[in-house]
Structure 1
Amino acid sequence: MTTRRTRAAAAVLDGYIYVIGGHDGVMALSSVERYSPLEGTWSVCPSMKSPRENAGCTVYLGRIYMAGGKDELGLQLCTVEKFDPDTMRWGPVKRMKCKRNHVSLAVFNGALLAIGGCDGVTNLKTIEVYSHETNTWRHFGSMKARHPGGRAVVLN
């Protein structure tokens, strides 16, 4: 990669590996790079609107969604952005109801879920579901135990 980073997110879309955000040892990053396995090269993509590290990331309906994490001031985020590979642009998505650092994003039964994370005070056990038709988040349910973050995977 052209930028060293830790606490970044990664996604695979249209044959590319995207590495998004993270921290360079000094500050949270908004930069994005993608790797072409066919060419064996990295290229720089448009940056997100907001720097974020420890964000949730997944591909949903042909777009990369980045949610939550922490910004350059170390504040937990409830903001969400999506990347359209056809236009090579980041666009806004309605904010989640809760701030979620280390949130897990997963797609299950056609729905985008934000699972657990930390709001800056406590680990969360709540789950939010996103509706792309209305661009809204709503409470989906709760887990039995608080989920401090990390990652969740859905196997079909």
Structure 2
Amino acid sequence: MGGVDGHQRLGSAEKYKFERNQWTMIAPMTSQRSDAGAAVLNGKIYITGGFNGRECMDTAETYNVDTNEWTLIPAMQTGRAGASCIAYHNCLYVIGGCDEWVERLNSSEKFDPTTNHWSRVVDMYNPRSNFAVEVLDDKIFVAGGFNGVTSIPQVECYN
């Protein structure tokens, strides 16, 4: 979903058919973006933030696999690229990343699809972008990443 072709940001998206070992195009996103976060929540694919070639984006959208349609959801509170995204407790969490000044973020926010609203969650200790995120034992773990100067060896946990 999205990316860069060497010259411009992309709005295209593809799906993979395992049984056929084949990629096919799906409907394009509403925005061209690279460096976005993505996760699956309640059977829908969400893509958040990213970079459009000019600025870090606060927009987010969701893909309905049944209708092959992308729909914008409310904008995040902070534009961010290189953030990690994960589904947790029926909400979508967007964590860290960097802002339009390429400053790494320690902030996070969550989207509740039942209220269609974003809200802030507690900050991480270390600002970071381009890191791994996973849910384990009902907690969100973030690991590694980049703080703007060097790699981050610390792991943090949110519960």
Tell me if TM exceeds 0.5.
yes
Whether the 8 Å contact between 1:57 and 1:104 is mirrored in structure 2 is no
Structure 1 segment 67-146 matched on structure 2, within 5 A:
67-131=95-159
Q: Measure, in 2, the Cα distance between the counterparts of 1:15 and 1:57.
A: 15
More strand by share: 1
CA RMSD of aligned residues (A): 0.8
Q: TM-score w.r.t. structure 1 length?
A: 0.81
Which of the residues 45, 56, 80 maps onto 1:17? 45
Q: Measure, in 2, the Cα distance between the counterparts of 1:101 and 1:60.
A: 19
Q: Measure, in 1, the Cα distance between the counterparts of 2:140 and 2:134.
A: 6
Q: Measure, in 2, the Cα distance between the counterparts of 1:121 and 1:10.
A: 25
- The 3-state SS of whatever aligns with 1:125 is coil
- Percent identity (aligned): 36
Match of 2:11 in 1: none
Whether the 8 Å contact between 2:38 and 2:84 is mirrored in structure 1 is no
Which of the residues 56, 68, 79 maps onto 1:28? 56
Whether the 8 Å contact between 1:65 and 1:82 is mirrored in structure 2 is yes
Q: Measure, in 1, the Cα distance between the counterparts of 2:105 and 2:44.
A: 27
Whether the 8 Å contact between 1:83 and 1:90 is mirrored in structure 2 is yes
| Cα offset, 1:61, TM superposition | 1.0
- The 3-state SS of whatever aligns with 1:11 is strand
Which of the residues 84, 92, 116 maps onto 1:64? 92
Unaligned 5+ residue runs, structure 2?
A: 1-28
Match of 1:39 in 2: 67
Whether the 8 Å contact between 2:47 and 2:61 is mirrored in structure 1 is yes
- The 3-state SS of whatever aligns with 2:154 is strand
Q: TM-score w.r.t. structure 2 length?
A: 0.80
